[in-house]
Amino acid sequence: MRMGEGVEWGLHCCLTLAWLGDEEPVPTRRLATWFDLPPAYLHKRLQTLVRAGILSSTPGARGGFRLARPPESISLMDVVAAIEGKDDVFRCTEIRQRAQGREASEREFRQPCGVATAMRRAELAWRRALAEQTVADLMAAAPPGAADRTRRHYGRMTG
């Protein structure tokens, strides 16, 4: 399975916004500078998170983004689903019913095949694991000083 880089960007931005708190919105330009990312592309990812209710957006010269919910109520799966979509990763196209499979009885195809069953089980485990972890968990697992370094750096950018 391969996710787009927008998931990584979204998660790091959520983590940064959580550390900065909600005193003032953080402009895309500042987040893009912090991570050395293209501002226009990052802005699209952030707007996706706004539509999903993960971030809130304030327009205008003093506008920007902040978390729309507390960090402990934003799961990693929330961010992944917002950026990548909610569709299943594995899509069974029933190739077993093509070519030589056409000779099998219809009864054989009433249940999902072993491949589809195994892939669905694995995907559910992956989704559960991401749903059980939150932005607050990322904050707690960060190296010592990461939050303070983020706040200090942001203060230098705005001051």
The model's pTM is 0.83
Which CATH number covers residue 9?
Answer: 1.10.10.10
Give the structural domain span for 29: 5-89+134-158
Does any domain span residue 63?
yes
The answer as to whether 109 is a domain residue is no
Report the sign of the C-alpha dihedral through residues 26, 31, 33, 38, in that order: negative
Number of domains in the chain: 1
Q: Closest Cα to residue 5, out of 39, 41, 32, 29?
A: 41
Asked whether the beta carbons of 136 and 142 are under 8 A apart, the reply is no
Sign of CA dihedral 75, 80, 83, 84: negative
Which pLDDT value is given to residue 155?
76
- What would the pLDDT profile of 19-72 be if each residue is shown by its tens digit? 998 778 999 999 999 999 999 999 999 999 999 999 999 998 889 999 999 999
Fill in the amino acid letter for 75: S
Q: Which amino acid is at 11?
A: L
Q: Is residue 95 part of a domain?
A: no
